[in-house]
Amino acid sequence: MILSCPGRPLVGRRGGESPETAWRVRPLRVRAASAALLFLLAVGLVGCNSLVRALMAPEEPPEGQRGLSLADLPDGALEVVVEGLEVPWEIAFLPNGEFLVTERPGRLTRFSPRGPGAPPLGPQEGRTWTVEGVRATGEGGLMGLALHPSWWQGASAGGAGSALSAAPLTPEAPETPNAGPGPGALADPAGVSDLGGWIYLMFTAEGPGGTENRVVRFTLADGELADPVTIMGGIPGNRFHDGGRIAFGPDGYLYVTTGDAGESASAQDRSSLAGKILRLDDMGGTPADNPFGSPVWSLGHRNPQGLAWDDEERLWSTEHGRSGLQSGMDELNLIRAGENYGWPEIEGDRVLAGLQAPELHSGGDYTWAPAGIASIGDRLFFGGLRGEALYEVSLDAGRVTGPVAHFSSELGRIRAVVTGPDGMLYLSTSNRDGRGSALSGDDKILRLDPAALRR
């Protein structure tokens, strides 16, 4: 007998693996606890929601990987910036210091900054738009957010801790744009007056063939979110494995993570947009130097959730490994054009010709469920959903060391991790997503001084 909750498979397995094989790979303590919970579900003594929360409970970090706790931080190193949100998925800063937050049910909110020590903002203190067409179900909904590079035309450069004071460009106040330090991603350089206020959102919607994910460009100007244009639609969607992160790279192109939407074979299919990292120009077109002559930049991904470039402009991505009772094998990947990252053929340290193993993985007995990632100097920071931690990885002469798990089980599920214009890390919690336990004030946006994590 295989037990499941409606829309929530409890045993995830890869092709060729039986439930019994999946069961054996978990540690004894986890198998015993899971068996007890499954028995209680079968006899009706616990409900599906209780079972899912129990199965998603964090594990203790492996020996030697525990980092700092909240009690180790100096006063003022961690502050709540916004509270009372519902599954905040992404954070993006405007050049004038304001910031945007997406919430998975379909809301986009613009907040004005407050200085250190100020009380937290509430949703009612921001300007909120409801994004039409969002289908929020399971892991899907309103997810990624990116600003067109032209927002920073005329903004003061400055370093960490400097104030970016220039107002964002709008179609009413155009300036000559460029695409950043790379070869240029602007599909129509002549149309400069149309570029200044563009923002990009990725969300789940109902398409002609069923659930899909799409990337939509909007104009944000004069306090209005308008002029939606779908630049990439038809990305396979599901209740699970929707990817959803979008970001402009230092080359000026837009990178998009897509999950396998529950069909693992699609990750190896170059003709499918599922299980990939895509690379687009700002109009949704395919750059001429993409490796396959299509939007696909890399393939063989299960559910990539984070994108960040380090100081050497190398692209890093976090990715969810297997799920269900087996779990674990989450990945940190160094992304290169045209590479195949192996899902579902390899995981962990397994090697096959033509497939790229991760730079770092969580192992089979511990789960990160990694989400957003940010780069500061020689360090990478990424959030853990099931891991309920902020993970830190060090980059040293091409070597990746770590991770260290900070605040394990103290803040709950951490989703967005973003570097702000002030050099601080901004985190979002995801404790109201049905898989965690909401704390007072959840969900929150937190501001963390990364200098406080130096040990």
pLDDT tens, position by position, 291-330: 999 999 999 999 999 999 999 999 999 999 997 777 899 9
Burial state string for 40-63 with b = 16 or more CB within 10 A and e = fewer than 16: ebeeeebeeeebbeebbebbebee
Cβ atoms of 267 and 302 closer than 8 Å: yes
| Best CA proximity match to 449, nearest among 390, 409, 404 | 390
| pLDDT per position as a tens digit, 160-213 | 222 222 233 333 332 322 333 333 334 332 232 333 499 999 999 999 999 999
The reported pLDDT for the residue numbered 327 is: 81
Q: Which CATH superfamily is domain 56-453 in?
A: TolB, C-terminal domain (2.120.10.30)
Q: What is the mean pLDDT of the chain?
A: 84
Q: How confident is the model at residue 5 (pLDDT cuts 50, 70, 90)?
A: low
| Best CA proximity match to 254, nearest among 191, 314, 179 | 179
Q: What angle do CA 100, 389, 447 make, to 5 degrees?
A: 35
Q: Bigger pLDDT: 32 or 230?
A: 230
Cβ atoms of 321 and 301 closer than 8 Å: no
The reported pLDDT for the residue numbered 206 is: 97
pLDDT of residue 271 exceeding 90, the answer is yes
Q: Distance between CA atoms of 70 and 60, rounded to whole angstroms?
A: 16
- Quickly count: other Cβ atoms within 10 Å of residue 353's Cβ: 4
pLDDT of residue 55 exceeding 80, the answer is no
Task: Tell me the domain boundaries of the chain.
Answer: 56-453
The reported pLDDT for the residue numbered 79 is: 98
Average pLDDT over residues 405-414: 98
Does residue 443 have a cis peptide bond before it, meaning omega lies within 30 degrees of 0?
Answer: yes
| Best CA proximity match to 144, nearest among 320, 305, 271, 291 | 305
The reported pLDDT for the residue numbered 1 is: 33
Q: Helix, strand, coil proportions of the chain in percent (round to 5)?
A: 10, 35, 55
Tell me the pTM.
0.83
